[in-house]
Structure 1
Amino acid sequence: MRYRRFGKTEMLLSVFSLGAMRYLESAENAHKTILRALEVGINHIETAQGYGKSEEFIGKAMQNGLKARRDRFYLTTKISPTKDADSMRRQIEQSLKRMNVDYIDNFDIHGINLYEHLELVKNPQGCMKAVREAIDQKIIGHVGFSTHAPLEVILDTIETDLFESVNLHYYYFNQRNAPAVQLAHEKDMGVFIISPSDKGGMLYNPSEELTGVSYPFTALYMGDRFLLSDPRVHTLSLGAANPAEIDSHQDAWDHDEPMSELEQAVLDCMNRRYSFLENDLCSQCYKCLPCPEGINIPEVLRLRNLAIGFDMVEFGKYRYKMFENAGHWFPGNKAIRCTDCGDCLPRCPENLDIPRLLRDTHDRLSGQEGKRLWE
């Protein structure tokens, strides 16, 4: 296992962190998953107050012997922004009690996804007042934020200089947030990548095309190496549902050096797959927005890019069904809402027939409705 300095926090984190959203089966399973993570060298457990019984299960593991090993790992929990300091104080106390700990190494404001969330944390008498008090009391070591926001919101949140780290989406198959990674790097912030194996493309269950183009490596390995070869990235979430899933990343966790010639050649081959879209490739410039019908056009067309270029249809269906079902965590209406108004067409530098492509995406990817995992 490799370790990297988590920005200005000075915490030396393993390049994989145990994301605790998925081991919700039982307290016993959670404990075994944590122990396996520690055994392979993972030294960071990351959860959230909103992750079902995750904090409670961590607390039971603490009672059953994990507390004796508390100096071997860092613990992060996340709480959504609140309108007032008292609410945040109560919730911090609740998290400490549930996890059976008296301090949190790293604390994140969970889900700064909208400008109204950013305004809550910028209020000097709001939730951040309670967070600063907790830092002064040594209850919290460091403070960061997690986000599923549009790039502009992420950049503006980083620019507040209120935070030491950021949890965000950034993958080979979705590089929209590259400017945020760079700005965080310039400010010496820790950079934590959310769900690279799942939201990054369901790389644990790749299509035959993605498997083939990744050879002689796996799609999962290439996704990990794309990130770990970047020194601006410090740790990746490994959201294991059980102990066995920890080892799926073993090939990558000892490799954080620049990409080898062979790895780069595979990446170049992957890049060429987009040629399959010919004149229908969406370059993700985002100039088509805003859409009068609230369709997240670039994200819809990104899923189409992947469905055609890499036959990532199952991943596309998985993400597409979240539209209209996940609120500000995954905003946007389904493509079927397009009214052919043409508002987006003059702004598209590729002159794409966007209404046609939206309908095509809906036909390819529409299916059963979905919700976020812990809902």
Structure 2
Amino acid sequence: MHYRRFGKTNLQLSVFSLGMMRCLSSPGQAQATLQAAINRGINHIETARGYGRSEEYLGAALKANLGVSREKLYITTKLPPVCDRLVMSQWIHESLERLGVNYLDCLAIHGINTWEHLEWVLSDNGCMVAVQEAVASGLIHHVGFSSHGSLELILAAIESDLFDFVNLHYYLFFQRHAPAIALAAQKDLGIFIISPADKGGKLYTPSPTLAQLCEPYSPLEINYRFLLSDPRITTLSVGAAQPEELELPLQVKDRTFPLTSAENQVLQQLDEHLNQTLATDLCSQCYACLPCPESINIPEVLRLRNLAVAYDMTDYSKYRYGMFENAGHWFPGMKADRCNSCNDCLPRCPQSLDIPTLLYDTHQRLQGESRRRLWG
């Protein structure tokens, strides 16, 4: 296992972190998965108040003899933003009690997804006051945040200079947050990439088309290598539900060197196939089409269409598309059938895409069962 400095925290974290969100069948399952992760060199464990009984199960597992001292195991939990510092203070103490620890190595504000959330963090009586009090008393060592919000919101949160690290969505098939990676690195923030296998494209069950385009690598492998080859990125989450699910990701745990010529050739082949397949219908993800009067997240809808058409990533695209209108601020935007052909977006598109037609086509391709977040 390779380890990297987690920005200004100066913690040396394993390049893979164990996310405990899915370790919920039983305390025994959580302990077995945690033990397997530790045995393979993982030293960073992440959970959250909102992940069911995850904190409780992790706390029970930590009481066992895991073969590693508490000082060498770094624990992060996440708490949502709130406008009342007293509520946040109560949540911090509850998390510490459930985890059975005297301090948290890292606390992340979980889901600064709207500008109002950021206002709560910045306000004189908001949640950050309680967090800073906990830092001063030694209950928390380092503070960061996660966000499912806009790039502009993420950049503003980083610019606040309140945080030591950031949890980001950033993958081979979603590079919108590249400026956030750059700014976080400039400010020496630790960078934690969340859900690269699942939200990165359900890459553990790739389509035959995508698998063939990535040969001789697997799509999951090439995505991990894309991320691990970037020295600015500290660690990637692995949301294993059982020990066996650690095997495939950790095959690349030592491959943190720059991309090889063969790997770059695969990336080039993916780009060429995308451009050739979509041709004049390819959305370049410039976001110039927004805002939409009907609150359709046009770029994300068309990104899902890009992936479904070019790489046959239809299962993933349906999975994500089904979350529109069902996940609130965690995945904002209306479905594409809300388009009324007002055509406000057309003059703003530098590619002159027929956006209403593409939105209709996307809905026809991807409409299916509505989905909610695992924890909502």
Q: In the alignment, is the contact (CA less than 8 A) between 2:49 and 2:78 conserved in 1?
A: yes
Percentage of matched positions with identical amino acids: 57
Q: How far, CA to CA, are the matches of 2:41 and 2:67 in structure 1?
A: 17
Alignment-derived partner of residue 42 in structure 2: 42
Deviation at 1:36, TM superposition (A): 0.5
1:242-261 equivalences under 5 Å are: 242-261=242-261
SS at match of 1:7: coil
Q: In the alignment, is the contact (CA less than 8 A) between 2:324 and 2:335 conserved in 1?
A: yes
CA deviations 1:72-108 (Å, max 9, x no partner) are: 3100000011112111110000000111111100111
Alignment-derived partner of residue 2 in structure 2: 2
Deviation at 1:70, TM superposition (A): 1.7
Instruction: Give the partner amino acid of 1:8.
Output: K
Alignment-derived partner of residue 349 in structure 1: 350
Q: Could you list the runs of 5+ residues in structure 1 that have no partner in the other structure?
A: none
Q: How far, CA to CA, are the matches of 2:116 and 2:209 in structure 1?
A: 42
Alignment-derived partner of residue 135 in structure 2: 135
Q: In the alignment, is the contact (CA less than 8 A) between 2:166 and 2:192 conserved in 1?
A: yes
Q: How far, CA to CA, are the matches of 2:336 and 2:295 in structure 1?
A: 9
Instruction: Give the partner amino acid of 1:83.
Output: C
1:215-364 equivalences under 5 Å are: 215-275=215-275, 276-364=277-365
- Check if 1:71 corresponds to 2:36: no
Q: In the alignment, is the contact (CA less than 8 A) between 2:83 and 2:125 conserved in 1?
A: no
Instruction: Give the partner amino acid of 2:92.
Output: I
Alignment-derived partner of residue 203 in structure 1: 203
What is the TM-score of this pair, normalised by structure 1?
A: 0.98
What is the TM-score of this pair, normalised by structure 2?
A: 0.98
Deviation at 1:64, TM superposition (A): 3.1
Q: How far, CA to CA, are the matches of 2:66 and 2:3 in structure 1?
A: 22
Q: Could you list the runs of 5+ residues in structure 2 that have no partner in the other structure?
A: none
Q: Structure 1 residue runs of 4+, over 6 Å off? A: none
Q: In the alignment, is the contact (CA less than 8 A) between 1:21 and 1:374 conserved in 2?
A: no
Q: How far, CA to CA, are the matches of 1:68 and 1:167 in structure 2?
A: 25
Deviation at 1:123, TM superposition (A): 1.2
Alignment-derived partner of residue 56 in structure 1: 56
Alignment-derived partner of residue 83 in structure 1: 83
CA deviations 1:105-159 (Å, max 9, x no partner) are: 0111110011100001111332111111111111101000011110000000000
Alignment-derived partner of residue 151 in structure 1: 151
Alignment-derived partner of residue 213 in structure 2: 213
Q: How far, CA to CA, are the matches of 1:237 and 1:68 in structure 2?
A: 20
1:84-99 equivalences under 5 Å are: 84-99=84-99
Give the RMSD, CA atoms, in angstroms: 1.0
SS at match of 1:9: coil
Instruction: Give the partner amino acid of 2:325.
Output: E
Aligned length: 375
Alignment-derived partner of residue 15 in structure 2: 15
